[in-house]
Amino acid sequence: MRRKKACAGSTTVAVSLAIFLVIFTAITLYTFFAKTWWFPDPITTFGRDIDQQFLRTLVITGIVFVLSQLGLAWVIFRYRGRGQRAQHIEGNLTMEVVWTLATLVLFVGLGVYAERAWAEVHFRSAVPGAVQIEVTGQQFVWNFRYPGPDGKFGRLDPKLVNASGGNPLGLDPTDPAGKDDLVVPVVAVPVNREVELLIRSQDVTHSFFVRELRLKQDAVPGLLIRIHFSATQTGQYEIPCAELCGLGHYRMRSFLTVMPQADYDKWLADQAAANQ
Amino acid sequence: MVTHESGAVHAHAAPTGFIWKYIFSTDHKIIGIQYILLALVSAFVGMFLSVLMRIHLVWPNAKLPFIAGGVMTPEQYLALLTMHGSIMVFMVLTTAPQSGFGNYFLPIQIGAADMAFPVINMLSFWITFLSLLVMLAAFFVVGGAPISGWTAYPPLSALGEIAGPGQGAGQTLWVIGVAIFCGASLMGALNFITTTIDLRTKGMSLMRMPLTVWAWFLTAILGLLAFGVLLAACILLLLDRTAMTSFFIPGGLVITDQQVAHKGGSTLLWQHLFWFFGHPEVYIAILPGMGVTSHMLSTFARKPVFGYRAMVYAMCSIGFLGFCVWGHHMFVSGMSPYSALAFSLLTMSIGVPSAIKTFNWLGTLWGGQIRFTTAMLFALGFVSLFVSGGLSGLFLAQPAIDLYFHDTYFVVGHFHLIMGVAAIFGMFSALFFWFPKMFGRHLNEPLGKLHFWITFIGVYAIFMPMHYLGMAGHPRRYSDLSGANFLGPLMPVQRFISIAAFLTIAVQFIFLINFLWSLKFGKKAEKNPWEATTLEWTIPSPPPHDNFAGVEPVIYRAAYEYAQPGAVEDYVPQHLAPEQVARAR
């Protein structure tokens, strides 16, 4: 009988596949519960909001994930061919409506909930008096410019750019506002104070990324993009480039140091002195 | 209902002579096989590139074959990365599911003798082949293949050699290759749409079409709308590169201390155009796999598709929403943060039709009598992969969370599972299912099952850990882990992924051997070995030149009439007249 033959060995396959799905689901759950690989601790308030939202999303997707994978394992095991005749079911409108509405509320609701952290980063501008730092990406270094005691950035002229000659940003020496500008390859900020970054690029698209800030922003040629944050933990954090920018992309890196206000003031003064 | 004057089934004589029969054939079946072979060769090339990359990533000083100088340089790594992505996306995921299997089976499943425009169909294939040659030629020009990734963001891709090795002639060839590919895909899309609308046989109403046909039809509509935009973008980029225009290059750029003469362009314009194509492209790759999966689950669970109409509507809404969400690739690009809100909510809502599909697949299996053929195993694997890969998308759809995950390995894991592997599983399923029809012989089932098991476990072992790398903040497209201190501790995970990748790729040779061996020595196939209901199983294996031998089939019922109460057999084919259906007394 052909029908018999079609069912032969189906129990072994069904059981193996079901068991594999269960094990796979268990391992996935374990890695998330055990936090085997996890985020570095956030050092901003919206960073903590984002982590909260990640956990909310993890719980909801986790439930759907477990139900779907185990559901699949169950139907594979339960309805393996054993010579029975399949039931003739063409669908169920009520169920369609229920799971459509349920997922709509769940997923879109989750999306609406996430907007708060996003709004905190992007919908308001930096508070007055925030520390302003200009960030410039170029193949394959970051340059950071502080406006100096006058609080004003000097004019830049692309025609004057000469990295090997010590003027990587093209500062215009005729502009008095630029006299006290400080250009450094690493960035320091005071702790618990709002910092506004003015992000730009001189050649191709780069991306400013600090894991602990939970912040990433492309540096786009032709655009000046403002983001702001307030770091609550002192320490040194890496700034890897996060947008493919050429062959040196992997080694385009700088450091962000968050320090107490007094140390920050001293650092600024030291850098300015070294720059003279 | 469609009526025909000359009829969908206009008998036409088979061509004679090897060249017209097998090379420049206008027969949709031969063209389908040509596309599948092109995809197969491309897939092995793409996998080979990824092997080289994975070796370099975890053993940076290893001497490698085919690499000039032996030890891979960062630019060589990026060139492989760019070509891996481009070949896999364009030459595998866009060709095999749609142009390959769609070409072969869409006309047969709707009862037509061929595509609506057979000559255009032939041209589509040969133009695609040309685009593959142009793209591969980038490896052999001065400077080598481009290093700007398959997304080719300007200004990196627009400035020429000054931006890096490979950005000269190599990048130009890449742009031309992709533009040519767009032309071929547009012609193919028109052909698929016209064929589905015009050449359906008597009784083949839209709601009686197999879900595979629906998937190919919708994919063609997506292709028609998406590839035109990419073609335009490629032409603009080519002009920027060769004619000193400035569509994508803003003024005042300085690269390695040299002034760039362009001014006035917008780099974000490319990103908008590219992703307006790029996001629907994901569905171009995956929709045919969804159609195939529905087809398999129904056939091998011996049950009608659960909620057929819901499945059709879900695919339509996925296709429609697919055009409204491109901005979710650009949350950190500097685009207006307010538009991110809209893109985010629209993206989250794609989860709804995706969930509908998943639940309906489970519903199709529920109460069935499952036959575990290799084709069925790959379809079941598709469901599992689709769930895993789809759910991680819900993280990336939220701009706040994407701030962290953008351009990390989390994204790499996500899109490989859903767009790469799930789509490929759909194609393996299709091949094991239809191989007997195409070549008159079965693929070897035990070898197929072995291939399935190792591949299924392997792809999860490769791509799940990538999500953890992303959570640790590992940026993608890094040729070396020495660039940042926090990457060092992640090396064991990278090693694990590399080894899993080597094993999984090695196993693909089992499939290749199975494919070649079965062509000649496989078990001979009957007309309808799977006891399936759709039209391709009513004609000989392999089918004659004009499919239905000049007789127009008539359709009496929906596509998936399994387990009909009262019928003796547990399946009632679409073409069987009501009086022919044997009834149990």
Local confidence band at B1 (pLDDT 50, 70, 90 cut-offs): very low
Nearest to A90 among B304, B407, B480 (CB): B304
Instruction: Please tell me the predicted confidence (pLDDT) of residue B504.
Output: 97
- Out of 1.20.210.10, 3.40.50.720, 1.10.10.10, 3.50.50.60, the CATH code matching B320-523 is 1.20.210.10
As a whole-number percent, the residues of chain B with pLDDT over 70 amount to 97
Averaged confidence pLDDT in chain B: 94
pLDDT at B12: 61
Average pLDDT over residues B255-278: 94
Nearest-angstrom CA–CA distance, B166 and B160: 8
The mean-pLDDT minimum among A272-276, B54-58, B221-225, B462-466 falls in A272-276
- For the domain made up of B31-252+261-298, the CATH class stated in words is mainly alpha
pLDDT at B184 over 70: yes
pLDDT tens digits, residue range B390-441?
Answer: 999 999 999 999 999 999 999 999 999 999 999 999 999 999 999 999 999 9
- B258: number of Cβ within 10 Å: 12
Minimal CA separation from A138 to chain B, in Å: 8
In this complex, do B156 and A72 lie within 8 Å of one another by their Cβ atoms? Answer: no
pLDDT in tens, B316-372: 999 999 999 999 999 999 999 999 999 999 999 999 999 999 999 999 999 999 999
* Interchain CB distance below 8 Å, A249 and B477: yes
Instruction: Say yes or no: A192 contacts chain B, CB-CB below 8 A.
Output: no
Asked if residue A107 lies in contact with residue B348, where contact means CB atoms within 8 angstroms, the answer is yes
Distance of residue A2 Cα from the nearest chain B Cα, in angstroms: 10
| Residue B70 pLDDT class (50, 70, 90 cuts) | confident
Q: Same fold for the domain at B31-252+261-298 and the one at B320-523?
A: yes
CB spacing of B400 vs A121 below 8 angstroms? yes
CB contact (8 A) between residue A247 and residue B164: yes
Nearest to B438 by CA among B4, B2, B37: B37
The CATH architecture of the domain made up of A131-275 is: Sandwich (2.60)
Query: Are B302 and A86 spatial neighbours (Cβ–Cβ below 8 Å)?
Result: yes
pLDDT band at B9 (very low <50, low <70, confident <90, very high): very low
Of A38, A80, A88, the CB nearest to B471: A38
Domain boundaries, given as residue ranges, for chain A: 2-82+95-122, 131-275
**Over 90: is that where the pLDDT of B157 sits?**
yes
| Chain B touched by A138 (CB under 8 Å) | yes
Give residue B152's identity as a one-letter amino acid code: A
Instruction: Examine the pLDDT at B532 and tell me if it is beyond 70.
Output: yes
Residue B124 parent element (H or E):
helix B118-137
Please report, for chain B, the start and end positions of each structural domain, with discontinuous segments joined by +: 31-252+261-298, 320-523
Helix-then-strand count for chain B, H and E? 16, 2
Which A-chain residues 162-181 have CB contacts (< 8 A) with chain B? 162-164, 170
Detail the DSSP E strand segments found in A88-224.
Answer: 131-138, 141-146, 182-184, 187-190, 194-201, 206-210, 215-219
Of B391, B480, B564, the CB nearest to A65: B391
In B, minimum Cα distance to A15 occurs at B372
pLDDT confidence of residue A275: 77
- The CA-atom distances, in angstroms, between B496 and each of A120, B64, B121, B414, B453 are 38, 20, 44, 18, 19
Q: Which of A10, A67, A84, A87 to mutate to test the interface with B (most CBs of B within 10 A)?
A: A87
Given a contact cutoff of 8 angstroms between Cβ atoms, the answer to whether B192 and B102 are in contact is yes
Which residues in chain B have their CB less than 8 angstroms from residue A107's CB?
348-349, 351-352, 355, 394
> What is the amino acid identity at position A18?
A
Chain A residues near residue B399 by CB distance under 8 angstroms: 114-115, 118
Question: B208-235 pLDDT, tens per residue?
Answer: 999 999 999 999 999 999 999 999 999 9
Q: Which residues contact A144 (CB under 8 A, 6 or more apart)?
A: A133, A134, A135, A136, A183, A184, A185, A186, A187, A254
Q: How far is CA B97 from CA B161, B306, B435, in A?
A: 36, 23, 14
Q: Is the pLDDT of residue B57 over 70?
A: yes
pLDDT score of B415: 97
Average pLDDT over residues B69-76: 92
Determine the pLDDT at residue B276.
97
pLDDT of amino acid B2: 46
- Whether the per-residue pLDDT at B131 is higher than 90: the answer is yes
**A206: phi then psi, degrees, rounded to nearest 5:** -120, 180
Between chains, do A241 and B475 touch, taking CB under 8 Å as contact?
Answer: yes
> Looking at chain B, how many residues does it have?
585
Contact B303 A89 (CB under 8 A): yes
**Residue A165's pLDDT is what?**
86
> Whole-prediction pTM value?
0.95
Per-residue pLDDT, A8? 54
Q: Which residues of B touch A162 (CB under 8 A)?
A: 257
- Rounded to an integer, the average pLDDT of B524-531 is 95
Q: 3-state SS of B1-56?
A: CCCCCCCCCCCCCCCCCHHHHHHCCCCHHHHHHHHHHHHHHHHHHHHHHHHHHHHH
Rounded-to-integer distance, Cα A28 and Cα A40, Å: 20
The pLDDT value given to residue A9: 67
Give the range among A108-122, B111-125, B187-201 with minimum mean pLDDT.
A108-122
**Chain A nearest C-alpha distance from B348 (Å):** 6
Calculate helix-pair angle for B422-439, B267-301, nearest 10 degrees.
Answer: 50
Q: What is the pLDDT along chain A (276 residues), one digit of tens a residue?
A: 344 444 556 889 999 999 999 999 999 999 999 988 899 999 999 999 999 999 999 999 999 999 999 999 999 999 999 888 888 889 999 999 999 999 999 999 999 988 888 888 888 899 999 999 999 999 999 999 999 999 999 999 999 999 888 899 999 999 999 999 999 999 999 999 999 999 999 999 999 999 999 999 999 999 999 999 999 999 999 999 999 999 999 999 999 999 999 999 999 999 999 876
Q: Where are the alpha helices (DSSP H) in B59-102?
A: 74-86
Q: How far apart are CA B124 and CA B129, in angstroms?
A: 9
